[in-house]
Amino acid sequence: MSEAAEYAIGAQVYCEQGPCGELLRVVVDPVKRAITHVVVGERHGQDVDRLVPVDLVESATERDLRLHCTLEQFASLEAAEETKFVQPPGGQWGYGQGQMLMLPFFGLGGMGMLGGLGMGGLGMGMGGLGMGMGGLGMGGLGMGGIGMGMGGMGTAGSQQGVTYDKVPPGEVEVERGQHVHASDGAIGHVRGLVIDPSDHQVTHVLLDEGHLWGKKEVSIPISAVIGVDGDGVRVRLTKAEIADLPPVVDVDGDGDGDGDGSGDQPLRSE
């Protein structure tokens, strides 16, 4: 399953013992340009859609998709909460409106840097930014501590001469939509995570539109995050220090140069 087109919306989905639902949507990592999960609507009267990692997909055709898991295992998969994903405009990679969700990942870029998809003014990605949701579907984006490793210098996706602290996505407890608090007060909400395309490590937390600084892209270094609690994400910087941070996000780093965030490179399966 290397071609995204093999995941046909509306295809019947089967577990090892029999039918378990219908393929409703695909979930895309816009930085890797890869399908990471599929959303399956359950049968048997249960009003719960399941988030299925693509590594559970055994085969897929235009009419059916087969999973190597039992019905019991399927029923235990994480529910697909759409609020934790970003819904991009229709028409991307052959999927219509409402047929694709994106992880809230933005490519590290800007100022001439290379970046990942970013999704034109809409932001990319998965809504729940595993960034804190127990583990996006089965596995991705789990929760963990915020320990920081050192990023590489001058690599693709990084600003030349600048080193950023980095953290694997599965160790970031930040969720899309959470409140963000500077050391001297609230400043906005989480839009997503900024990812270095060269190694797919988290470098920054991106604020959503509507923060204190209007339309300015505001990205807070992951090293400045000191904790996540019931009130949201807390950072050690003041509002003034955050206002002075340079832009690092390539909001439309889709690689086709047209500025619409649609991308011209094909999707693949993780």
pLDDT tens digits, 218-242: 899 999 999 888 889 999 999 999 9
State what percent of residues in the chain have pLDDT above 90: 29
Mean pLDDT for 130-152 is 35
- Looking at the predicted structure, is the pLDDT value of residue 163 above 50? yes
Decide: helix, strand or coil at residue 105: strand
Across 79-98, average pLDDT: 81
pLDDT of residue 185: 93
Looking at residues 118-128, what average pLDDT do you find? 34
Say which DSSP state 247 is in. P
Provide mean pLDDT across the span 78-102. Answer: 83
**Whole-angstrom Cα Rg for the chain:** 18
Indicate if the pLDDT at residue 116 is higher than 70.
Answer: no
- The residue among 230, 129, 233 whose CA lies nearest residue 182 is 233
Q: Which of 56, 50, 58, 61 is nearest to 6 (CA)?
A: 61
| Residue 96 confidence (pLDDT) | 85
pLDDT value of residue 268:
66
Q: Are 187 and 172 in contact (CB under 8 A)?
A: no
The pLDDT, as a whole number, for residue 256 is 35
Average pLDDT over residues 84-101: 82
Tell me: pLDDT of 150 over 80: no
In angstroms, rounded to a whole number, what is the distance separating the alpha carbons of residues 41 and 21? Answer: 5
Model pTM above 0.85: no
